[in-house]
Amino acid sequence: MAAPLLLRGIPLLYTRFQQRSSASGFFAAVGRPSYCAAAEPCQPHSNEIPGIERTADWSAKEPLRHSRLDDPGYRRWKDREAEILRDIEPITFLTKEILHSNKYKDGERLTDEDEKAVVEKLLAYHPHSEDKIGCGLDSIMVDRHPQFRHSRCLFVVRTDGGWIDFSYQKCLREYIRNKYPSHAERFIREHFKRGSG
């Protein structure tokens, strides 16, 4: 019973919106939408826009005829986005498993296999990898971040015994910028948190 009551208010909201928009606005260009509930047929509004012929009623059952997927540029972007996601998925999954599961305790060094993957697919792409490695790479370990104790991160353990953290997200972003330069910034903007540098 509540749904029909809610639907009765839609024409009022639509009328208010129409009063605020100009005659050349969105609704004037495509005609007035209908309101309908899933159980009842669509019914047109009584006050049509003069001079505009409505070609079809809108309903929840009928999708819009023109999708963004019809746009070749958007389709190319979605294809490239899917390709990038497939490319980075294995190393992203491994890194999250290392950081967020019980696979490694705090301060524990990675296995040779995991270390090889992290060094080749992440650390090699860090924008400051040479500074991070310093005098030489002894191993990779996982531990709590020194400032943000609730966060676990990856550390380069140097041959002199020193160690320094590095961001796997910075590594991934740089990898994407190198391999997919024309789509990198959009992908990064849409898939990485702001402020993760």
Q: Provide the terminal-to-terminal Cα distance of the chain, rounded to the nearest Å.
A: 51
Q: Is residue 105 part of a domain?
A: yes
Mean of per-residue pLDDT scores for the chain: 78
Identity at 106, one-letter amino acid code: D
116-151 residue pLDDT tens? 999 999 999 999 999 999 999 999 999 998 888 889
Q: Is the pLDDT of residue 41 over 60?
A: no
Look at residue 87 and tell me if it is in a domain.
yes
The tens digit of pLDDT for each residue in 44-78 reads 444 454 444 444 444 555 555 567 777 888 999 99
CATH number (domain holding residue 175) = 3.10.450.40
197 within some domain: no
Q: Is residue 18 part of a domain?
A: no
Q: How many CA atoms within 13 Å lie on the side-chain side of 161?
A: 0
CB-count exposure of residue 55 (10 Å: 0-12, 13-18, 19+): exposed
Cα–Cα distance measured from residue 107 to residue 146, given in angstroms and rounded to the nearest whole number: 12
Residue 2 lies in a domain: no
pLDDT at 165 over 80: yes
Identify whether 95 is part of a domain: yes
Q: Which domain holds residue 130?
A: 75-191
Whole-number Cα distances in Å, 138 to 94, 141, 152 = 20, 10, 20
Count: domains in the chain: 1
In this prediction, residues 100-113 reach a mean pLDDT of 95
